[in-house]
Chain A
Amino acid sequence: MADPMRIRAVLNGDKVEVKVLIRHDMETGLRKDQAGEIIPPHFIKTLIAQYEGKTVLDAVMGISVSKDPFLHFKFKGGVKGGKLNVTWVDNLGDTRTDSAIIS
């Protein structure tokens, strides 16, 4: 089971500033473990952020996004108390959705 994300969404003027932290190993599939065996790839491939059902960011990622990924972006049109959902899916089909209320 994937760990929860940490999502911060703060209204600043007319823009909502969003910061997302995700607990994920983002394993490249290029590394070897101590026994010399290749560690299989395990990484987030797609991520989508939606504000009240409307997509505000849509991302695809490769193996070179860092472990425990971080995203920072801004969108217009959000209001305080509104709900932002973030969903990711990784290459093994594992997925997680968390939400944050805009403050």
Chain B
Amino acid sequence: MNVFSKIIFTIFVIQMNSYAFAESSSTDEISKYRELLADGNPAELWEMRGEELWKKKIAPKNVSLEQCDLGKGAGVVKGAYVELPRYFSDVNKVMDLEQRLVYCRKTLQGLSHEQAVKVPFGSVGNSSDIEALVAYITSESRGMKMNVSNKHPLEKDSYEIGKRFFFYRAGTHDFSCATCHSANKKRIRLQELPNLLNKLDAQKTYTTWPAYRVSQGEVRSMQHRLSDCLRQQRFPEPVYASDSMTALIMFLAKNADGGVYDAPALKR
């Protein structure tokens, strides 16, 4: 190697090193940022409000949600979320948490469908009762293992439909869920993308939703997470708490089986 190419080579090595360094120190600092934020999660405020709403009697029937059957019997909240979505014999279909909540608000509390799905996602000055209820209910499964059933044929169907949805490439940008979520260690900008086909990633992701999103100042549910993915995927808007979303959630939840539930969490 002559002197000239040696110099070039050295410069190249230094540059590559500083590059690698810049990248790893950026991600280190971002992990530090997340750690600092984890201390004091505003989602707790949603959990508190959700618990009040769960127990609050409201018109027209003047009953609370305390008799709502989330799958483990009327009124059982503890551990309900880690077994959802699931088959419900009273409606003969598979429901996720939010679909079930809508059902309980309609049948138990007597709300119309419009009332029951009103403000599914909150915004400034327009907070969502649903997000608060979801925060409360999910918090009651913290520390438990994901244990989603696929024994019932309809549960299996829901999973398979969700799987087809996950791989469905369409629209102007040719995106599917899989475009961003089927390879390890990928990032969009600096945001890490979980590989939802990889057990550990799928568990880590599913068990940390819902979450307080610092970018939005709200607790966001799984339905919101999926809606926002679909928006960026250049897909039209899914109807809130619909069967297709339940199917997709079923696919993701089942892939996360065995993961220890740890939400509402806090995310960017």
Direct contact of A and B (CB under 8 A): yes
A positions within 8 Å CB-CB of B: 3-6, 19, 21-23, 25, 27, 39, 66-68, 70, 72
CB-based contact B40/A21 at 8 Å: yes
Task: Name the one of A3, A19, A67 contacting B40, with C-beta atoms under 8 angstroms.
Answer: A19
Q: B69: CB under 8 A from chain A?
A: no
Q: B124 and A21: CB pair below 8 A?
A: no
Within 8 Å by CB of A68, from B39, B49, B217, lies B217
Inter-chain contacts of B124 with A (CB < 8 A): 25, 27, 39
Question: 1/0 per position for B21-65, CB-CB distance to A under 8 A?
Answer: 000000000000000000111101100110000000000000000
Q: Contacts A21-B42, A25-B125 known; A67 to B217 CB distance under 8 Å?
A: yes
Q: In the bound complex, how far is the Cα of B216 from the Cα of A67, in angstroms? A: 9
Q: With A70-B40, A70-B42, A72-B39 in contact, do A6 and B48 touch (Cβ < 8 Å)? A: yes
A22 to B48, CA, bound (A): 12
B40 contact set on A, CB distance < 8 A:
19, 21, 70, 72
CB A69 to nearest CB in B, in angstroms, measures 9
Question: Which residue in B45, B212, B214 is a CB contact (below 8 Å) of A6?
Answer: B45
16 more A-B residue pairs beyond the given contacts A21-B40, A23-B45, A68-B42, with a C-beta to C-beta distance below 8 A: A3-B45, A3-B48, A3-B49, A4-B48, A6-B44, A19-B40, A21-B42, A23-B42, A25-B124, A25-B125, A25-B217, A27-B124, A67-B217, A68-B217, A72-B39, A72-B40
- A6-B42 Cα distance, complex, nearest whole Å: 9
Contact B45 A68 (CB under 8 A): yes
Q: Which among A3, A22, A66 has the highest number of chain B CB atoms within 10 Å? A: A3
Q: Chain A's nearest CB lies how many Å from the CB of B101?
A: 20
A66–B215 alpha-carbon span in the complex (Å): 11
8 A-B pairs closest in CB distance:
A68-B42, A67-B217, A70-B40, A23-B45, A6-B44, A25-B124, A19-B40, A21-B42
9 residue pairs bridging A and B, Cβ less than 8 Å apart: A6-B44, A23-B42, A23-B49, A25-B217, A39-B124, A67-B217, A68-B45, A68-B217, A72-B40
Smallest CB–CB gap between B48 and chain A, Å? Answer: 6
CB-defined contacts of A39 to chain B, threshold 8 Å: 124
B39 — which chain A residues lie within 8 A by C-beta? 19, 72
